[in-house]
Structure 1
């Protein structure tokens, strides 16, 4: 009996001292008021039949591979895999160089049937960034390919997100907020 009482006392102490369960992050709104970046939809993504099949002709291999791994986290529903001879290419990574263009990376949707969308890295910007910022750009653009919009990086509605619109010292992997937006769009695995 004494062991039972001692056991119950220890259990009660553990329950009192245990931290409260962490509150799940909530999805954040898009910051754009109009255009394709004002909403998050499956239709405005590179996802085809639950996957993105990709090819690459870019010098930023380490960066796009980082982005592919980052968005293939445990619980991610969309499969991100290299294109093969028996699959349809959904996305191509490639480079361009325009010193007048402030964007380090750009995702563009090609709405044609069996068309290939693009993630293009601006060498004029990417080459001036450190490795972490280049990884952030790659993860950010793949977030767009997954249908996600820009999130607020400043002000009272600020959230920590790889989907901030500016390249700087931001996360280079999806945050809890990004994963909440992803789940809202694609569901759980």
Structure 2
């Protein structure tokens, strides 16, 4: 089993609010054209698509299926582990980063909460770290939010414009 570690740091932005960035992301491109190309090998299409559609509304990073010509930036997958409470995770890798959903935990969740996990993990792929409990990027699951909230949007805008 691969050990996964995450490093989070908090930065004070120009507006005085605390920004929450993870220090890594799956985004390619330059200030004029940011993108994430993904491959998917998950049974949780609805959770993946929900997260993509919600972050896409912010408009700065184009999140689209891999075209088969380039190397995907992100891969969605599933695994099964009944010994952990982890529902899903984002992991940066040297080539293609991954978002993996734990089938054991995901299958217990309602659609609303599966969508929260899909949006939250994609937030990590966009470079966002854990944030406040009233935000999608909160470190706790299933708190009645499954779309990016005001601080999530502010952190996203600070990273991607």
For structure 1, the 5+ residue unaligned runs are: 1-34, 154-159
For residue 185 of structure 1, report the CA deviation from its aligned partner.
1.1
Within the candidate set 37, 46, 63, 2:8 is matched to 37
Match of 2:155 in 1: 181
Q: Secondary structure at the match of 2:38?
A: strand
Structure whose CA Rg is larger: 1
Match of 1:97 in 2: 80
Match of 1:108 in 2: 91
Asked if 1:138 corresponds to 2:109, the answer is no
Match of 1:126 in 2: 106
Aligned partners of 2:59, 2:135: CA distance in 1, in Å? 17
**Distance change >3 Å, CA 59–CA 89, structure 1 → 2:** same
For residue 99 of structure 1, report the CA deviation from its aligned partner.
1.1
Aligned partners of 1:51, 1:87: CA distance in 2, in Å? 12
CA root-mean-square deviation: 1.3
Higher percent of residues as helix: 1
For residue 51 of structure 1, report the CA deviation from its aligned partner.
0.6
| 8 Å contact kept, 1:96–1:120 | yes
Match of 2:143 in 1: 169
| TM-score, with length taken from structure 1 | 0.72
Higher percent of residues as strand: 2
Deviations 1:32-70 (CA, angstroms, capped at 9, x unpaired):
xxx5222516x5001111110001001101110111101
Q: Secondary structure at the match of 1:69?
A: helix
For residue 142 of structure 1, report the CA deviation from its aligned partner.
0.1
Aligned partners of 1:126, 1:142: CA distance in 2, in Å? 16
Match of 2:17 in 1: none
| TM-score, with length taken from structure 2 | 0.84
